[in-house]
Amino acid sequence: MNFAGKNILVVGGSSGIGLSVVTQLNDFGASVFSLSRSPSPQLPPGVKHIAMDVLHDVSTLGESLPEKLHGVVYSVGSINLKPFARLTEDDFMHDYRLNVLGAVKILQQALKPLKNAQGASVVLISSVAAQTGMGFHASIGSAKADVEGLTKSLAAEFAGQHIRVNAVGPSITDTPMAKGLLGSPEKKEASAKRHPVGRIGAASDIGSAIVFLLGDGSSWVTGQVIGIDGGFGKIR
């Protein structure tokens, strides 16, 4: 896969799935911009870090972006699992602001360079919980379902501007964010057994799918939510 000459913005690129995407894109020759609150020492040399918090003002983002932007990945999320009776309005609002409004704000700032590319791809991150009923997921499941609605709406609106918009829907993935759910060998084994393929996801599993959706090989794919979930969302 060749990304030489392409500029890609990865939001949340300092850890987990986002870092996997950054690393793969860098290996494939892309010019990568990684946006997060703080840089990671694991970022490959040459990757440009943009210090910004998506929960706050991002109106200066355009100043840090190139004239043409060939892709945006919004790899930001949360795992907020509580019984419904314990979820507060603030819980729902936080998950919505982080997963949905953060993506909205970033894409509004990136829209001009995306249009300038005359062929760009946006990838958002949903969750298996958006389409599969799972206990204790009311807040995050609701937010990720909104991400899927946003994906399809923007895919329709941006199609005439040569911007594709897709999402991936992972199941549990071995990342720092999931540490509380996978913090012991016993927890990892129990989670692996819930997936038809017999293992939990790695960041590279999701990252590889995202990189495919950014590349020319997926040029006829838009408006899709692709489950990268070890079969958890569809088969038993």
Q: Which CATH number covers residue 60? A: 3.40.50.720
Report the C-alpha gap between 236 and 231 in whole angstroms: 8
Instruction: Kindly state whether residue 233 falls inside one of the protein's structural domains.
Output: no
Of 28-37, 139-148, 185-194, the poorest mean pLDDT is in: 185-194
Instruction: Kindly state whether residue 159 falls inside one of the protein's structural domains.
Output: yes
pLDDT of 201 higher than 90: no
Query: Is 42 in contact with 19 (CB distance < 8 Å)?
Result: yes
Instruction: Kindly state whether residue 2 falls inside one of the protein's structural domains.
Output: no
Q: Indicate the SS3 state at residue 66.
A: coil
Instruction: Kindly state whether residue 1 falls inside one of the protein's structural domains.
Output: no
What is the reported pLDDT for 234? 81
pLDDT of 186 higher than 90: no
pLDDT of 160 higher than 70: yes
Instruction: Kindly state whether residue 95 falls inside one of the protein's structural domains.
Output: yes
Mean pLDDT over 79-89 rounds to: 93
pLDDT of 5 higher than 90: yes
The residues that bridge with 74 in the sheet, in sequence order, are 11, 124
In the chain the first and final C-alpha atoms are separated, in Å, by 33
Phi-psi label, residue 29: left if phi above 0, alpha if psi -120 to 50, beta otherwise: left
Give the whole-number percent of the chain exceeding pLDDT 70.
97
- The string over 53-63, giving b where at least 16 C-beta atoms fall within 10 Å of a residue's C-beta and e elsewhere, is ebeeebeebee
Q: Cα torsion for 129, 134, 138, 140, to the nearest 10°?
A: -30
Q: What's the pLDDT tens digit per position in 205-219?
A: 999 999 999 999 999
pLDDT of 22 higher than 90: yes
Q: What's the pLDDT tens digit per position in 126-152?
A: 999 888 888 899 999 999 999 999 999
Supply the pTM of this predicted model: 0.94
What average pLDDT is seen over the chain? 93
Identify each DSSP E strand in 27-112 by its residue range. 31-36, 48-51, 71-74
Of 8-12, 103-107, 173-177, the poorest mean pLDDT is in: 173-177
Query: Is 56 in contact with 41 (CB distance < 8 Å)?
Result: no
* Number of domains, the chain: 1
Instruction: Kindly state whether residue 234 falls inside one of the protein's structural domains.
Output: no
Q: Which two tokens stand for residue 181?
A: 């759910």
Instruction: Kindly state whether residue 129 falls inside one of the protein's structural domains.
Output: yes
Which domain covers residue 117, as residue numbers? 7-228
Report the C-alpha gap between 233 and 170 in whole angstroms: 9
Report the C-alpha gap between 70 and 116 in whole angstroms: 9
pLDDT of 181 higher than 70: no
Report the C-alpha gap between 36 and 14 in whole angstroms: 6
Instruction: Kindly state whether residue 211 falls inside one of the protein's structural domains.
Output: yes
Q: Indicate the SS3 state at residue 95.
A: helix
Mean pLDDT over 26-37 rounds to: 97
Report the C-alpha gap between 51 and 36 in whole angstroms: 5
What is the reported pLDDT for 125? 97
